[in-house]
Chains A and B, each alone.
Chain A
Amino acid sequence: MDANSSEVGAQLPARPVLEGPDIARMLTRIAHEIVERAKGADDVVLLGIPTRGVFLARRLAAKLQDITGRTVPVGSLDITMYRDDLRLGPARTLARTEIPAEGIEGRVVLLVDDVLFSGRTIRAALDALGDIGRPRAVQLAVLVDRGHRELPIRADYVGKNLPTSLREAVKVQLTEEDGRDAVLLGLKQTTPAGER
């Protein structure tokens, strides 16, 4: 891929590995896989993990609606208060948890996040779900799987497997939050202590 990292800035010399159309195609493919595997996706609830997982969940829900003709409940699940690294930094700002009116009891909950890395976010999300209800099954969809798992967790639907080194940082940009769709790969910034 050509290196047009100039607009990203000198601080994070990141190059885009995926662009807007790639992301759109991957989401379409994931939506079809969901319908196929969940046999019509009629009891699926999408829960995005803030911040960018929520936008991805909404986009997936729209695509599922196009395919099945039914509205798919979509919400968000904030995992901040379930994190295992809360004590390692200052108290973090909370994000919104919005469980759809249909609830999650007895349904298939599909967690949606942008990047799957250590797996600790998903561990926290599973704990958070347990306090809200008892889904029939929980599945995971991610845009990018960058490897380096620290827990026995895997994704059911993956946009792209992106082999990385631990010194690299993967950044997903979405129009809703960042003004454009892209997945950037760069070197990890070592200076700030509060890296995520």
Chain B
Amino acid sequence: MKRHLISAADLTRDDAVLILDTAEEMARVADRPIKKLPTLRGRTVCNLFFEDSTRTRISFEAAEKRLSADVINFAAKGSSVSKGESLKDTAQTLEAMGVDAVVIRHGASGAPYRLANSGWIDAPVINAGDGTHQHPTQALLDAFTMRRRLIGPDAGIGQDLAGRRITIVGDVLHSRVARSNVDLLHTLGAEVTLVAPPTLVPVGVETWPCEVSYDLDSVLPKSDAVMMLRVQRERMNAAFFPTEREYSRRYGLDGDRMARMPGHALVMHPGPMVRGMEITAEVADSGRCTAVEQVANGVSIRMAVLYLLLGGNEPAVTNPRTEEK
């Protein structure tokens, strides 16, 4: 495994499967009376959040605390200093304080990469979402949720998602979750189809390892999991579709559409959900929607990533013993 986790594309198949397997063991800690492991005692992890977040920040903090790390929360909201400078200054401050790892969320794509490769700081950097670029731990927890539901918590150990058909629907253009998921799911052997209005499909998508469709109804019956994305209006600087009602009618998931999915197929959502827009309340509250499960799985995945990057004196070595097919 690499020292930093910047992009889901940095992970090999064996790295990803190791993280999922480790998360499976971490998930069992949540069932214990004492939800704590001594593994990262004496290590300091800094959560550097330049952009708003509830789920991801709390999830990382819970994971760090369950592994007994010392946690420093740094909310750099409203910084008036220009981005490059402020990031450098912050990094040097953290380095001087001796942090052992940095979890960073930043509105600018590439900020975690810059932090990891600039030489400002020596600690491993974990990307918790940067602009419209990547959100690798989200992709990992999504893959973990799929493997648990489609294969099984115990049967899934050591397995990837080979041959599973995953559909990602919605605002792909602004979604780092979609980018990370395409990379990781492709690495794990799944077949990914993106469904979005043409205006919300990014330029250059033909080079991504996935299919693109504009017709949700034709893709649904062939999907093992359907991931709904929120329309990120805060990142939109133009009119990408005529009205919300039209978007909702063509690309929203309602009860009728869900009935057309195969019986075993999951509905996923990275959150926050906008009920009535991309997903109806009926679907969001049904047993097939894994949104809440994904949040719980997020803590396990982040514990696994932190353990594998920080638990030893160097990142975990992936077992070269790959299964021959």
A interface residues (Cβ-Cβ under 8 A, vs B):
78, 81-82, 86-97, 127, 131-133
The residue of chain A having its C-beta at the shortest distance from the C-beta of B28 within the complex is A97
Distance of A93 Cα from B313 Cα, bound (Å): 14
- Are A93 and B316 touching (Cβ within 8 A)? yes
Distance of A149 Cα from B38 Cα, bound (Å): 24
- Are A91 and B34 touching (Cβ within 8 A)? no
List of 4 A-B pairs having minimum Cβ-Cβ separation, nearest first? A91-B311, A91-B316, A91-B312, A81-B39
Distance of A131 Cα from B37 Cα, bound (Å): 8
Evaluate whether A90 and B317 lie within 8 angstroms (CB atoms) in the complex, with A96-B25, A127-B38 already known: yes
Chain A residues positioned under 8 Å from B32 (CB to CB): 131-132
B interface residues (Cβ-Cβ under 8 A, vs A):
18, 21-22, 25-26, 28, 32-34, 36-39, 307-317, 319
Chain A residues positioned under 8 Å from B308 (CB to CB): 91
Distance of A131 Cα from B41 Cα, bound (Å): 15
The residue of chain B having its C-beta at the shortest distance from the C-beta of A99 within the complex is B32
Distance of A28 Cα from B1 Cα, bound (Å): 44
- Are B312 and A90 touching (Cβ within 8 A)? yes
Show 13 residue pairs from A and B whose CB-CB distance is below 8 angstroms, ordered by the A residue.
A81-B37, A82-B39, A87-B313, A88-B313, A90-B314, A91-B310, A91-B312, A93-B316, A94-B22, A95-B25, A96-B25, A131-B36, A132-B33
Chain B residues positioned under 8 Å from A91 (CB to CB): 307-312, 314-316
Could you tell me the distance in whole angstroms from the C-beta of B24 to the nearest C-beta in chain A?
9
Max count, chain A CB within 10 A of own CB: residue among B22, B26, B315: B22
Could you tell me the distance in whole angstroms from the C-beta of A145 to the nearest C-beta in chain B?
27
Distance of A5 Cα from B116 Cα, bound (Å): 51
Could you tell me the distance in whole angstroms from the C-beta of A125 to the nearest C-beta in chain B?
13
Distance of A132 Cα from B36 Cα, bound (Å): 10
Chain A residues positioned under 8 Å from B36 (CB to CB): 131
Distance of A94 Cα from B22 Cα, bound (Å): 6
Evaluate whether A132 and B34 lie within 8 angstroms (CB atoms) in the complex, with A81-B307, A81-B311, A93-B22 already known: yes
- Are B34 and A90 touching (Cβ within 8 A)? no
The residue of chain B having its C-beta at the shortest distance from the C-beta of A83 within the complex is B39
Not counting A93-B18, A94-B22, A131-B32, a sample of 12 additional A-B residue pairs whose C-beta atoms are within 8 angstroms of each other reads: A81-B39, A82-B38, A82-B39, A86-B311, A87-B312, A90-B316, A91-B307, A91-B310, A91-B311, A97-B25, A131-B37, A132-B34
